[in-house]
Amino acid sequence: MKTIILFGLVLGALSAAGNVYIAEVGGKVTLQCGVTRFSSRLEWQHDSLRSSEIKQRAKKSKETDMEISNIKETDSGKFTCVADRSPHDHHLIVVSVSAPSGPLEVGADATLECKANSGVSGQSQAVVKWRKPDGSVQTVSKVELKSVALTDEGTWQCLVSYQGKEFTKTVTINVEVSPVLIRSDVFAQPGGVRGPEDPMMLLGLVWWIWVAIGAGGLVVIILIIVIIVMHKRNKRKKVHEESQGHVLLPFIGGQTAAAKPQQGRRREKPSALPLQPLLQE
């Protein structure tokens, strides 16, 4: 009789412990009742004050199981499946992960946070860790990156564990370098970035940009000088031509204005009068 009673207590403890489920906010989860069949009645219960809210997003699955979609943080906590007046308790932990969605610039600040809401007070909480791109692990729920570096780029993993159950959420951090800071040997240097104190930098620009600016300015100055010289040369030429115009007049009839005037015509001698007859009748 004692053996039977002890066996019943063990079954009751297992039933009370139930299963642990870990799901992410916005996702879905299927809770298994713990029985495959029932004879009269089966119902799911969840912290009576919030049960009506979950009913709108819950549906039966395989007659005994329950599927919850669009999970919210308030869905966490204890779920009880009552089959033929026999309760089966389960525990749902809801995880929410936040991380920067776009690329980060070197030197910026960023925060990664992974929260595991058990929904049950007085019980042990889930263990939350972050695995960095280099493989090292930090047992914290929030990671604050001060002055982001290229070494922070890569895959970060949020690790949640509770009573043997594990959950992993992966996020990717992209880090970009401002073009002003990039040099040809940037990846050969530790950290990959040089600051404003770099001797190859001047007022935030690399040396070859200043060389290009100087060369462009020199070309502009030369062009301006050439234009001024050509303008003065054309002006002198025009003045010279105008001064020559006072000496030489335009050609007229094949002779210039400087040609000697034509000599007057010689006066022709008057023709001799016809001889008058000496006698005339």
Phi-psi region of 194 (alpha: psi -120 to 50; beta: other; left: phi over 0): beta
The pLDDT of residue 270: 58
For 70, the token pair is 């669009």
Q: pLDDT per residue over 32-74, tens digit each?
A: 999 988 888 888 888 754 566 778 888 888 888 999 999 999 8
The stretches in the chain having pLDDT less than 70 are 1-17, 48-52, 122, 180-205, 245-281
Predicted TM-score (pTM) of this structure: 0.57
Break the chain into its structural domains and give their ranges: 17-176, 178-228
Residue 214: φ, ψ to 5°: -65, -45
Nearest to 136 by CA among 149, 155, 111, 150: 155
- Alpha-carbon distance of 140 to 127, in angstroms, equals 9
Structure tokens at 94: 């809801």
What does the pLDDT read at residue 51? Answer: 60
Specify whether the CB–CB gap between 80 and 89 falls below 8 A: yes
Q: Report d(CA 215, CA 150) in Å as an integer.
A: 34
Give, as one character, the DSSP assignment of residue 27: S
Q: Which fold has domain 17-176?
A: Immunoglobulin-like (2.60.40)
